[in-house]
């Protein structure tokens, strides 16, 4: 884009960055919602949430770099911090709903944090151009979720018992 177009549509560099991350979050939300509509079990819901956080069309270095910039500036920029809080609350709510009835709230909280940290860390690595594919990212998180929950809970979630 030309500087003139940027100046016309955006208040400044911070606004451009905010809108880029907001757009990327919208892509994630659309991916997750579409996948959740297809989910039939708690495991399907977890899979939808995790896979939806790494959409093929958005899991690229440019989007990851913009997100890292927003995260790092969140301490000084209330608008950026609000964007991150909204994303974190939505992730926590979605994961908690997938686990409801199978995992206590006390046990779910650290798992929710772990999933969020892993998602954030994999996006951070994408920003520094580490060659982690979408499938590798999803696989890493699912493997850790499986170990953390244990085989019995994973089977209950898969069976929808």
Q: Where exactly are the structural domains of the chain? A: 13-159
Write down the mean pLDDT value for the chain. Answer: 87
Which residues are CB-neighbours of 111 under 8 A, at least 6 positions away? 95, 99, 103, 145, 148, 149
The tokens describing 16, both together, are 């451009």
Contact between residue 16 and residue 10 where contact means Cβ atoms under 8 Å apart: yes
Q: Which CATH superfamily is domain 13-159 in?
A: Tetracycline Repressor, domain 2 (1.10.357.10)
**Given this model, what pLDDT does residue 160 score?**
80
Instruction: Count the Cβ atoms, other than its own, within 10 Å of residue 101.
Output: 10
> What is this structure's pTM?
0.84
Q: Any residues with CB less than 8 A from the CB of 59 and at least 6 apart, and which?
A: 123, 126, 134, 137
| pLDDT at res. 5 | 62
70, with CB counted inside 10 A (0-12, 13-18, 19+), is buried
Sequential DSSP letters for 136-153: HHHHHHHHHHHHHH-HHH
Please, which pLDDT band fits residue 119 given cuts at 50, 70 and 90?
A: very high
Of residues 23 and 116, more confidently modeled:
116
Judge whether residue 56 has pLDDT over 60: yes
């Amino acid at each position: 884009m030309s500087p003139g177009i940027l100046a016309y549509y955006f208040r400044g560099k911070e606004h451009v960055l905010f809108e880029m991350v907001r757009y990327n979050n919208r892509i994630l939300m659309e991916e997750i919602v579409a996948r959740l509509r297809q989910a039939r079990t708690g495991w399907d819901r977890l899979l939808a949430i995790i896979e939806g956080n790494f959409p093929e069309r958005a899991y690229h270095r440019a989007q990851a770099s913009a997100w890292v910039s927003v995260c790092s500036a969140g301490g000084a920029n209330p608008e950026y911090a609000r964007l991150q809080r909204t994303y974190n609350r939505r992730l926590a709510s979605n994961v908690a709903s997938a686990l409801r009835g199978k995992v206590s709230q006390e046990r779910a909280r650290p798992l929710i944090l772990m999933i969020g940290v892993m998602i954030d860390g994999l996006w951070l690595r994408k920003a520094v151009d580490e060659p982690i594919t979408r499938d590798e990212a999803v696989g890493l998180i699912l493997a850790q979720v499986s170990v953390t929950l244990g085989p019995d809970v994973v089977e209950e979630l898969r069976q929808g018992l």
